[in-house]
Amino acid sequence: MATDTSLAVDLDVLTVASPRLRTVGVEEELLLVDHATGAPVAAGSSVLAAGTALPVGALQSELQEQQVETATTPTRTIGDLGEQLVSLRRVADVAARTAGARVAALATSPLPVRPVLSDGARFRAIEAQMGLTCQEQLTCGCHVHVAIDSADEGVAVLDRIRPWLPLITALAANSPFWGGRDTSYASYRTQAWSRWPGTGPTDIFGSAAAYQDVVARMLATQTLLDGGMVYFDARLSHRHPTVEIRVADVCLDVRDTMLVASLCRALVQTAADQWRTGVPPSTQPTVVVRLAAWRASRFGLSGDLVHPVEDRLVPARDALSALLHHVSGALEAAGELAWAREEMSALLARGTGADRQRAQLSRGGDLSTVVARAVDATLADRRA
């Protein structure tokens, strides 16, 4: 699966926006590394200082000094989103170079690391509350924001996308290594992230009021500092009028990030359409959705996954076919159906980021070489 197959895409078909399309935006957390040794570099504050000429919010601090976050602006076209992603990765790398580092779209560090907490009262409060879970946490995710019309619509979406999210985890899997060893997982970030309270799939809420009641009860336990620590797999954003889908590793290849964003928007649109026409959410028990997410984390696209409708194991290719079928109407309305089919086939051929990291290691060298090649892949533009 690790063969790198470049996909020739007519990007023009992805840059014509309909005013009816929901906007989509992406936050990518990037690892700061030494290009020669592969070791993470605690340079987040310096990178942010070097990026002051960038638009406000384009670069943001993260929990640990060995990472930095980029954020696109909302856009209606996946082509425009891809342009932003490529640009932001490159400007983040320019800023990182001033601090003697590079950026790598790796969801975990292949090499051992002792995370260094970023400065700030909130980060210190999180560490004081969470202890070792915070101190050991150095993971990089990809968060997709899709616009919603109301909280009611947003919660209806959350209720209907639950069983499909493990497939997003599987196709974005990009964290096979942790602490200098192969974890046997495709997305070990998912496992490390699950140590935080308030993570994972949710029960069906039924209404915005019920959602807010659950959040209020969670906060009343005084376990979480605030609403920003409600780390559901998908949630109502506490900052934007969006549904925020949080299950993906940061992707090694920008094309994979674009596909993740396209599929997430299509899932949101399909769920909203179902809600408006009275189609109820499917009733998979949350424990089954959690097991499906575990299998996606463990195997990525290299093993059998739980079918999102039938709750049985099927080859990953069949599970992804079910996903494409489910959202085909929304993808077609966005002008992305043919592109998404081609990109999905290309992803299956070249492998996930986890597959490609392992393939790089198997070709010789060591984990520092894996990181160096990841830096190259992070900054490459293979969209056409």
* CATH label of the domain that carries residue 307: 3.30.590.20
Residue 11, in any domain of the structure: no
Residue 1, in any domain of the structure: no
For residue 1, pLDDT over 80 is answered with: no
Owning domain of residue 273? 24-375
Residue 4, in any domain of the structure: no
For the chain, the domain total comes to: 1
Band of the pLDDT at 3, cuts 50, 70, 90? very low
Query: Which residue from 383, 272, 282, 256 is spatially nearest to 329, judged by alpha carbons?
Result: 272
- Tell me the per-residue pLDDT of 89-127, one tens digit each, with 9 for 90 and over: 999 999 999 999 999 999 999 999 999 999 999 999 999
Residue 283, in any domain of the structure: yes
Residue 155, in any domain of the structure: yes
- Check if the beta carbon of residue 77 is closer than 8 Å to that of residue 14: yes
Compute the average pLDDT of residues 351-378. Answer: 96
Residue 231, in any domain of the structure: yes
Query: Which residue from 351, 317, 341 is spatially nearest to 263, judged by alpha carbons?
Result: 341
For residue 13, pLDDT over 50 is answered with: no
- pLDDT reported for residue 239: 86
- Check if the beta carbon of residue 361 is closer than 8 Å to that of residue 374: no
For residue 10, pLDDT over 70 is answered with: no
For residue 344, pLDDT over 90 is answered with: yes
Residue 220, in any domain of the structure: yes
CA 25, CA 253: separation in Å to the nearest integer? 17
Residue 339 per-residue DSSP state: H
Residue 263, in any domain of the structure: yes
Residue 29 DSSP SS3: strand
Band of the pLDDT at 198, cuts 50, 70, 90? very high
The answer for residues whose C-beta is within 8 angstroms of residue 342's C-beta and 6 or more apart is 7, 9
For residue 308, pLDDT over 90 is answered with: yes
